[in-house]
Structure 1
Amino acid sequence: MSEFNCPDRRRSGIFNRPMALIAIIVGIIAALTANHSRAATPFPDAASARFSVTVSGQGPDIILIPGLASSGAVWDDTVMHLKGHYRLHVLNLAGFAGEPAGANTDGEILAPSVEAIDAYIKASHLQKPVVVGHSLGGLMALMLAKAHPEDTGKLVIVDTLPYVGVIFSPTATVDMVRPQAAAMRDGMVAAPADAFRAQQAAGTARLVTDPDNQAKLLDWSMTSDRRVLAESFYEDMTIDLRPDLAAINTPTVLIYPVAAGEDATTTEATYQANYATKPNMTFHRIDNSRHFIMLDQPAVFQSALESALK
């Protein structure tokens, strides 16, 4: 996680644990061995790609969106577990974790990427796929359901808030957070490589427990396009979907972690308060995990996801 003037989140509950969207995360998707799989394909094409897609498995369609600076490889264990019963479309967002920046080289990133996901669903003739998103990917899933409610039958969002600015303060607004988010964005771009690496290393240790996974997250962070990373972070910090939740009727399951030593009651209350106006909302808690639940508690996460898919 980037440490550009990050607020102290050790006050209580969810604020004890950094959210991954300031964190920097996860690498290049591994080749999948299932039948009916194909190599990562840029969409819509290499020059104008917002992401590439790797498809494997057979069955009902699931789209998996990684978080900030993450590669689709964050879903590898999940894909191996599900591909016998589902067709999985794993996205690698352009500019993250070694993926070519494509159309994300300039300008806005999140909204155009969401529109590209809509275009992919329609071009692929997918019928109401489940969309699974981690952190920033969860925000994108909510944005998709808001803009194109016809696209998806269900959302499963993993440790995502409708406005991540509340990590600064429970009463935060976009106007309050914007100056600090801009400074953090600019700091990410300007930081020397050694300073940036040190900042990312400090952050990854708080996002996942296993040292090998921490090393992977750091490597993937360092191979992300710095401009894409910083701009995506800034947009994440300045998009507040709370006013839109009441109109997002898509059934949604939130899977969220409670790390060792956290107050589970406070964490649960924070999530429920932030999603209070969202209809068709279900919460699933996983204990003894940091932000990367699929890495810290893979078997428990897979069980929770399978339950959410029913």
Structure 2
Amino acid sequence: MKLTTALRPVCAALLLVSAAFSAPRSAAAALHFTSEQATATPDNPAAHPGFTVRVVGKGQPMLLIPGLTCPGAVWDETVAHYQKQYQCHIVSLAGFGGTAAPASTSQLLQNVRDQLLAYIQTQKLAKPTVVGHSLGGFVALWMSSTRPEAVGPLVIVDSLPFIGAVQNPAATVEMVRPMAEGMRQQMSKSKAQPAQQRQMVSGLVTDTARITQVTRWGLASDPATVAQAMYDMYTTDLRPEVARIQQPVLVLGAWAAYQAYGSTKESTRAIFEQQYAQLPRHRVEMSEAGKHFLMYDDMQWFFQQADAFLREQAVAKK
């Protein structure tokens, strides 16, 4: 799929990663969460049909959700930064980064949304801060708009409520569904070589060692799961739904890697603001230099923005 001058960072990043997967494996029974699942503790990660959770640190709860093809390890530096202040619940979604694939990809992200909300309830997490990157940010928005009372402040890292409308703000789910279906089928049939995967990832991450790691995660991910996750995002429009989100939201955006395709900081910010227009309490901040993985490429800025935002929420809560 060719990038055009109208194709912006979030959409481009997802497309670059998604183009590199081989044929899917067979699927069986649908995902299901029950309250009898194991309790998550620092020594006992809790496994669920759609994800596993590792718990690190003490303090107020923080739920960290990774992006497409990445396991929870993508948040290692973030957890190290926050574990003395927060009890970090680090999510690894099934089928990403070498984790076991879910039994079924039917209603994949909706099931993940519902299971994570159930996890918050069963673990008795009081309005946890939710940090989500890319697909993880999308899931965080969906969780909050579904049950606004269940979660606390959101930190959304380079993600939009409806990636199907990046090129055309007037796009609807029905308009993009044929393209999304074609993309899902293409992703299930294409097979990428490591060199191709690395080249794609280099458009998303700056550091060579991190490019290597993200490439490995992508090659180890289950193609059927990745294809369905992409389809679900393209066919779910959360733009009107975010109006239900009650808590403050910090949105961190990237644009610098896509200057060659016509992006500017101002034009990209305008897309973010347009997509989040119905979200009552939000702030958009744009990284000057980071690519899609802002917690890697612009780490100091990422922590400055997140720390200031979280301090504001802590003060407001008192």
Q: Same fold (TM over 0.5)?
A: yes
Which residue does 2:273 correspond to in 1? Answer: 272
**1:37 is aligned to 2:34:** no
C-alpha separation in 1, matches of 2:233 and 2:43: 31
Query: Displacement of 1:16 after TM fit?
Result: 5.8
Query: Displacement of 1:213 after TM fit?
Result: 1.5
C-alpha separation in 2, matches of 1:198 and 1:169: 32
AA matched with 1:291: H
The alignment partner of 1:68 has SS state of coil
C-alpha separation in 2, matches of 1:192 and 1:247: 40
Render the CA deviation track for 1:122-168: whole Å, top value 9, x for unaligned. Answer: 11110010111111111111111111112112111111111001234
State whether residues 24 and 217 of structure 1, in contact with CA within 8 Å, keep that contact through their aligned partners in structure 2: no
Count of aligned positions: 285
Which residue does 1:8 correspond to in 2? Answer: 3
Which residue does 2:293 correspond to in 1? Answer: 292
Which residue does 2:117 correspond to in 1? Answer: 118
State whether residues 185 and 230 of structure 1, in contact with CA within 8 Å, keep that contact through their aligned partners in structure 2: yes
Which residue does 2:237 correspond to in 1? Answer: 240
Identity %: 36
Which residue does 1:83 correspond to in 2? Answer: 83
The alignment partner of 1:291 has SS state of coil
Which residue does 2:23 correspond to in 1? Answer: none
C-alpha separation in 1, matches of 2:157 and 2:10: 14
The alignment partner of 2:300 has SS state of helix
C-alpha separation in 2, matches of 1:217 and 1:250: 31
Pairing 1:169-184 to 2, within 5 Å after superposition:
169-184=168-183
Which residue does 2:28 correspond to in 1? Answer: none
Q: TM-score scaled by structure 1?
A: 0.86
Q: Residues 19 and 252 of structure 1: is their aligned pair in 2 closer, same or farther, counting only changes over 3 Å?
A: farther
State whether residues 148 and 244 of structure 2, in contact with CA within 8 Å, keep that contact through their aligned partners in structure 1: no
Query: Displacement of 1:40 after TM fit?
Result: 3.4
Which residue does 1:131 correspond to in 2? Answer: 130
**1:158 is aligned to 2:157:** yes
Unaligned runs of 5+ in 1: 26-35, 44-48
Which residue does 1:22 correspond to in 2? Answer: 15
The alignment partner of 1:61 has SS state of strand
State whether residues 145 and 151 of structure 1, in contact with CA within 8 Å, keep that contact through their aligned partners in structure 2: yes
The alignment partner of 1:202 has SS state of helix
Q: Residues 167 and 201 of structure 1: is their aligned pair in 2 closer, same or farther, counting only changes over 3 Å?
A: farther
Query: Displacement of 1:217 after TM fit?
Result: 1.3
AA matched with 2:3: D
Return 90-99 or 264-273, whichever deviates more. Answer: 264-273
AA matched with 1:24: V
C-alpha separation in 1, matches of 2:155 and 2:178: 31
Q: CA RMSD in A?
A: 2.0
Return 259-268 or 270-279, whichever deviates more. Answer: 259-268
State whether residues 19 and 135 of structure 1, in contact with CA within 8 Å, keep that contact through their aligned partners in structure 2: no
Pairing 1:41-120 to 2, within 5 Å after superposition:
41-43=46-48, 49-103=49-103, 105-120=104-119
Return 200-209 or 156-165, whichever deviates more. Answer: 200-209
Query: Displacement of 1:17 after TM fit?
Result: 6.7
